[in-house]
Chains A and B, each alone.
Chain A
Amino acid sequence: MGRVTGQDRDHQEWSLGIMALGGKLTSIDKSFSSLPYSGSVMGGGIRVAYLNGNVQHELDALIVAGRPKAEGYGNNMVEEVYGTADYTNLYQIAKPPGSSFNYSLGGAVNFLYGKRNYDDFINRYRSFEFSTSLSAAIELTYFFKGVRFSNRLMLPLLSVLVQPTFGSEKEENTRNTRAVAVPDFLRIKNRFGLSKEISRNHQFSIDYSWDYYRVEDPLPVKQASHLMSLAYSFGL
């Protein structure tokens, strides 16, 4: 059985992991084009987790970058950077008798940074969004033959969003900072993973995560990322 079972209420454990990520990112920034820019991205991340009985704390941060192209017009490209940092606190609330499923509920603080530099656009070619969100989180885990399957869903409920001003040419102009909630800022983040202990205190995991977000007026932006990650973590 994997080391993270959540079954031992006295069980405490720290772990640190490093990740390599790759996948696909698609974005539409309507200040520049209605066309989706789509392409591969790569990057890395770290994860720190603390398990104390039924309570799980996790901090993970990742960053990926690439040069997506305008769909159908591949000579138009954008340099894109996408990064997130999430602190998640989950409490195991249910483990049905005889079931290998665990259900956990909790909350998260999520940080998101998306930045785009459009090739061959004059004067105004940079855009970004930065958000800090309070989110609800739910996780479902399943243990089978030493492999831990998990799915974690996060839904930001209230956020502070920073974007450039409407006509700004300078990305550091942050006058457009505001508190937002659904539907002005809609985000859904999901991570599905498999992890297995390969030796005592050493774990290997594969995750598939997708992250969709949408910002409404005055600077509408939509982005979807699909990332696969390979992670190695060890107990501290």
Chain B
Amino acid sequence: MNRKTPAICFSWAMLPIAVAVLLLVSSGCEKAFDLKRPSSDPVAVFDEVWNVMNERYAMFSIKAVNWDDNYQRYRSLVSRDMTDHSLFRVISDMLESLEDGHVALFSDRDTGVYDNFYKAYPANFNYNIIFNNYLNKEYKESGPVIYKIVQNVGYIYYNSFVNDISDEQVNNLFRDIQGTKGLIIDVRSNPGGNSFNADRIFRHFIEEKALVKYELRKKGKGRNEFYDPEPYYLLPEGQPYTKPVVVLTNRACFSTCNDFVLYMSRLKNVTLVGDQTGGGGGVPHNYLAANGWRLRYTATITLSPDKTTIENGILPNRHIDISSLDELSGRDPILEKAFELVR
């Protein structure tokens, strides 16, 4: 006899139950794995930024700042009902206490960054004076670099390593200046940028593989948890320029510019003239906070080949400042000293 058995009815009823259990487990997993948006109230954002810095910022051993004290001092200024603008100011002030030009906070409307590493000092650079009175409004270009040969001395100005230069452009530049009796490389007010651009220029000054720096990278969340320093080498490119070179620097030469000056300062035919560089001896990374603000922080420590920090800048061989009178007179004594040295 063929009849519908209870087992079949029972099985058919199992299907929607199974689907319901499946969906419940799925949504339960979603909660268990906690993939929801975190709180973006001022206290949560402050704590988040402080914690990210605490775990990832590399420079605590170099900066004279007690980060735990900073938490107590600035956290007391934060309340859940404060405005975004007020919170931004509190967090920016906390970050600026590190006096690190690589550390910054960005919102849609505001930028908080420490810039006293150059603003507190003479500018020591006026491009209009150079363009009008020394280049006579004429120059050549090779990519982002402008250059001119003046009385058989090459003058090169690289305004920012953010602007990329290709290998071909570098080769063309050095082909043009190869016959000069000396070279002036002006990297004043170069804020840094892509380190490969600095590498491309530097490689034309060395005759063999050169150790140019070490990089200390964080190994973990501890403030002093680092891997062993990683050496960074550069290989020569093309015919090396070995005649006298003067590199012009000022306080606004920062980050990759600071690295470039470090590389050049190690060469025997190079003299640094101007003011010490602005520092920035480390590589910045980003973090996106729960309220959409973007944090930039220094994630590594760059060391010279002698394993000393370059965070506070590189001293020139000849310190010269441009006075207000020099500027009014249309003079650049830093550039003039450079011409004197290579001649």
Contacts and interface: CB of A to CB of B under 8 A. Distances in A.
Asked if A and B bind, the verdict is yes
Interface in A28-61: 28, 32-36
Interface string B278-308: 0000011111111010001001100000000
Interface string A166-191: 11110000000000000000101010
Interface residues of B, number: 45
Contacts of A151: 18, 22
B26 A73 contact: no
A165 B286 contact: no
B29 interface: yes
Interface of A: 26, 28, 32-36, 70-73, 76, 96-101, 118, 120-125, 140, 142, 144, 149, 151, 165-169, 186, 188, 190, 192, 210, 212-214, 217-218, 222-224, 226
Contacts of B7: 96-99
B286 A122 contact: yes
19 contacts: A26-B35, A33-B288, A35-B37, A35-B290, A36-B36, A70-B288, A72-B40, A76-B288, A97-B7, A122-B284, A124-B299, A142-B18, A165-B227, A166-B221, A218-B221, A223-B35, A224-B29, A224-B35, A226-B26
A168 to B, nearest CB: 7
Nearest to B225: A166
A33 B32 CA distance: 19
B38 interface: yes
A235 B330 CA distance: 86
Given A224-B33, A224-B35, A122 B285 contact: yes
Contacts, number: 118
Interface stretch (B8-16, B64-72, B87-95): B8-16
B138 to A, nearest CB: 36
A73 B11 contact: no
Given A35-B38, A100-B8, A218-B220, A123 B285 contact: yes
Contact of A167 (B14, B217, B286, B287): B217
Contacts of B175: none
A212 B33 contact: yes
B290 A190 contact: no
Given A33-B290, A168-B217, 5 more contacts: A28-B35, A122-B284, A167-B218, A167-B219, A188-B29
Contact of B22 (A165, A192, A218): A192
A99 B11 CA distance: 6
A188 B221 CA distance: 28
A70 B34 CA distance: 15
A208 B309 CA distance: 55
B56 interface: yes
A165 B219 CA distance: 7
Contacts of B40: 72
A140 B17 CA distance: 13
B5 interface: yes
Interface in B6-64: 7-8, 10-12, 14-15, 18-19, 22, 25-26, 29-30, 32-38, 40, 48, 56, 58
Which are the 10 A-B pairs with shortest beta-carbon distances? Answer: A98-B7, A33-B288, A167-B218, A73-B292, A121-B286, A124-B285, A167-B217, A34-B38, A212-B33, A212-B29
B133 to A, nearest CB: 37
Interface string B249-293: 000000000000000000000000000000000011111111010
Contacts of B26: 190, 210, 226
Of A33, A70, A125, most buried by chain B (CB within 10 Å of CB) is A33
B18 A140 contact: yes
